[in-house]
Structure formats: structure tokens, C-alpha cells
Amino acid sequence: MFITKAARRYATALLEIGKELDQVEEILDDIKLIDNTIEGSKELTMFISSPIIKYDDKKAALDEIFTSRVSEVTGKFLTLLARKGRANLLHQIAKAFVDKYNDYAGIIKIEVLSAKELNDDQVQSLQKALEKRTNKKVDMSLSQDASLKGGIAVRIDDTVIDGSVKHKLVELEQKLLSTAIE
């Protein structure tokens, strides 16, 4: 997902305020709640993204939906975004905030794709190995793809470590084809 510079600046500012007030985790929970609410409602997404709707109307709507559900700091942040005409960036800001929080907290998101479901021991062993390799806490998402035939593929940021049988078969095929051509 593309995140604008403005969204990153707002996320950075919000994280810094959270650090100063020792409310980073509370703000993180608020931001996740806001993002899930907005993403779950096409009408709300269209409403806050519309350039036609006035600041007062957006502020009133955001206040009504979130004021009782988020901290004072987050509520003021929403008011600021509405006033500056940046409420349309909320989804991007939320994603940027989560990324910045993960950096701050030493957490890395890792995607694991396996041919079959991993048992608890395998998941724990894999998590420990990845934490040792990355020197960070691992937030691991697991999914399955039977086409892998066996093994796993791990995605860490932009790096993919493919230990699947499917990948090994493709490599073998390429070696055989290159040998046959020579």
C-alpha cells in the first residue's frame, strides 16, 4: 500500500506524542479501532474522503463515532485531521503508525506460507528461530498453499526465503534444462 509523506509525518507526530505522554499502546489500540471501523464501512470511507463535505460535518461525525471509544489524545488528533482537511488520510496514517510502532517496539511482521497447517510446536520453533535471526519480536502470520507441495516460504519485509518443495522442483528443472542445452 502506498503511504504519502503527509501520512507518515502525521503518524510520526502521533507516535512522538504517545511517547511523551507514555500512551503509545493506548494510541495504537485507538488507531487500530479507527482503521477497522473505517475500513468496515464504505459509507464512512466515502464520507471522510469527500472534498465536498465540510470540516464541521466531518469533525461532528468523527466525534460522534469515536469520542467515547478513544483516548483524549486520539480524539484531538482526529479533530486536527478534520480541521486540516486530512481525514481522508486516516487509513494511510493508521498503516504508517502501526509500522512506526513496530519499529519503536522492536517488532517485525513476517508472513509464513506452508503447504499444510503447522502444529503448535512447529510454529513456536519457527518463531524462536526467526526471532534469533532478526533480533526482534516476531509478529507472524500463517497461511497455507497446497501448491507448495511441502516445506515453507517465509517473507520478511522484501526478502523471501523459499524452502518449499515447489521452489526446489523449479530450481531442479532450470538446472536440468540449462544442462541439456549445453
Integer Cα distance of 47 and 34 in angstroms: 14
**% of residues, the chain, pLDDT over 90:** 79
Residues 25 and 59 in one domain: yes
Q: Give pLDDT, residue 170.
A: 87
- Show which of 52, 77, 103 is a domain's final residue: 103
pLDDT at residue 76, as a whole number: 95
* Domain stop point among 103, 124, 140: 103
Instruction: Count up the domains in the chain and report the number.
Output: 2
Are 140 and 125 spatial neighbours (Cβ–Cβ below 8 Å)? no
Residue 96 sits in a domain of what CATH number?
A: 1.10.520.20
Same domain, 20 and 86: yes
Mean pLDDT over 120-139 rounds to 95
Task: Tell me what percent of the chain is helix, strand and coil, each rounded to the nearest 5.
Answer: 65, 15, 20
Q: What is the CATH number of the domain that holds 139?
A: 3.40.30
Mean pLDDT to the nearest integer, 138-142: 95
Confidence of residue 101 (pLDDT cuts 50, 70, 90): very high
Q: Give the pLDDT of residue 1.
A: 77
Residue type, 150: G
Tell whether 111 and 97 lie within a shared domain.
no
User: pTM above 0.95?
Assistant: no
More confident position, 9 or 149: 9
Same-domain status, 86 and 174:
no
Judge whether residue 144 has pLDDT over 80.
yes
Q: Are 44 and 56 in the same domain?
A: yes
H or E element: which one contains 27? helix 24-39
For 81, other C-beta atoms within 10 Å of its C-beta total 22
Average pLDDT on 146-155 reads: 89
56 and 28: one domain?
Answer: yes
Residue range 34-62: average pLDDT?
Answer: 93
Same domain, 95 and 117: no
Q: Are residues 27 and 97 in the same domain?
A: yes
The 8-class DSSP code of residue 117 comes to: P
- Domain hosting 65: range is 5-103
Least confident of 27-31, 49-53, 104-108: 49-53
Q: Where a domain ends, among 103, 121, 152?
A: 103
Q: Do residues 143 and 171 share a domain?
A: yes
Q: Is the pLDDT of residue 10 over 90?
A: yes
